[in-house]
Amino acid sequence: MTIWVGTGWKMNKTLAQARDYAETLAAVEQERWAGIQPFILPPSTALAVVSAVLGPRSRVLVGAQNAHWADAGAWTGEVSVPQVADAGATIVEIGHSERRTFFAETDATVNLKVKATVRHGLTPLVCVGEPASVFAARGSVTYVLDEVRAALQGVNDVSSVVLAYEPIWAIGSGGREAEPADIADVFAAVQAEWGGSVQAVLFGGSVNLGNAVPILAVEGVDGLFVGRAAWDVDGFIELLDLVAAR
Ligand code: 13P
């Protein structure tokens, strides 16, 4: 089984920093990551340079952190799926909690974006996850299943979809690291409903070198989606090597 290990850079890195990161990654003997599907999601400004540096034969996939559902038009400030594909993206991240919270992304717009991404043959990386209050009230499974159903509603072929369970309480510097027992029920439920049809179900939220292996050992976890711990390229490489050696 392929294990996905990737990082979203969020709103970080200049072009020079992005190029450095990609050059370091490109220089590594990537064969040692057999069985792993690495991916990086730079800001849209750096997609083209990162894709060009990595080149077509790299094992590392490149993706966008967001894209609009329309192909083109009067949508000031947005980028479309064809545009990010043109810049080298093969993955589109959709519905990260920061976008849902701060940019009014809803289940409905997530669904439109999933459809647009599938229509253009890219891989939708669909983020779902409950807030701390829902986790405390033991409502995580219902909340996450509802989000996944809404995101994939009416999508004829979900075989390219990658889901990322990212509980909001685990994300970012204010987040709490998840224990395997915190997330096992959600993975069991999501895999029971979608495991035969989607590509993979990842975990994200404060993943680091210390908790990556125990989290990957949770039944149903097909990979890791990492923020801070992989913003430094050496951290990303260490994480990939750790996963390869586990
Ligand atoms: P952190 O790993 O920094 O908590 O971020 C995770 C994340 O949001 C990945 O999408």
How far away, in angstroms, is 239 Cα from ligand 1 center?
14
The ligand 1 atom at the shortest distance from the C-alpha of residue 7 is 9
Name the residue type at position 162: V
As a whole number, the mean pLDDT across the chain is 97
Residue in 5, 7, 9, 10 to alter for ligand 1 test, most ligand atoms within 8 A of Cβ: 10
- On the question of pLDDT at 137 being above 90, the answer is yes
Judging by beta carbons within 10 Å of its beta carbon (0-12, 13-18, 19+), is residue 29 exposed, middle or buried? exposed
Look up the domain containing 198 and give its range.
Answer: 3-245
- 81 touches ligand 1 (CB under 6 Å): no
Average pLDDT over residues 145-158: 98
Residue in 125, 226, 239 to alter for ligand 1 test, most ligand atoms within 8 A of Cβ: 226
pLDDT for position 79? 98
Cβ-contact 233, 21 below 8 angstroms = yes
**Is 96 assigned a catalytic role?**
yes
CA contacts within 13 A on the Cβ side of 68: 12
| Distance, CA of 153 to CA of 118 (rounded, Å) | 13
Average pLDDT over residues 6-12: 98
The closest residue, in CA terms, to atom 2 on ligand 1 is: 227
Cβ-contact 161, 93 below 8 angstroms = no
- On the question of pLDDT at 130 being above 90, the answer is yes
- 3 touches ligand 1 (CB under 6 Å): no
Element (H, E) at 201: strand 200-204
Q: What is the CATH number of the domain that holds 176?
A: 3.20.20.70
pLDDT for position 30? 84
- 166 touches ligand 1 (CB under 6 Å): yes
- 207 touches ligand 1 (CB under 6 Å): yes
| Distance, CA of 78 to CA of 62 (rounded, Å) | 19
Structural domain tally of the chain?
1
Q: Which of 68, 93, 96, 147 is catalytic?
A: 96
| Distance, CA of 132 to CA of 118 (rounded, Å) | 31
Q: pTM of the prediction?
A: 0.98
**Long-range contact pairs involving 67-73 (C-beta distance under 8 Å, separation at least 24):** 67/92, 67/94, 67/113, 67/116, 67/117, 68/113, 68/116, 69/109, 69/112, 69/113, 69/115, 69/116, 70/116, 71/116
- Token duo for residue 126: 């669909």
The closest residue, in CA terms, to atom 1 on ligand 1 is: 227
What pLDDT band is residue 29 in, cutting at 50, 70 and 90?
Answer: confident
Element (H, E) at 91: strand 91-94
> In this predicted model, what pLDDT tens digit does every residue of 179-237 receive, in sequence order?
999 999 999 999 999 999 999 999 999 999 999 999 999 999 999 999 999 999 999 99
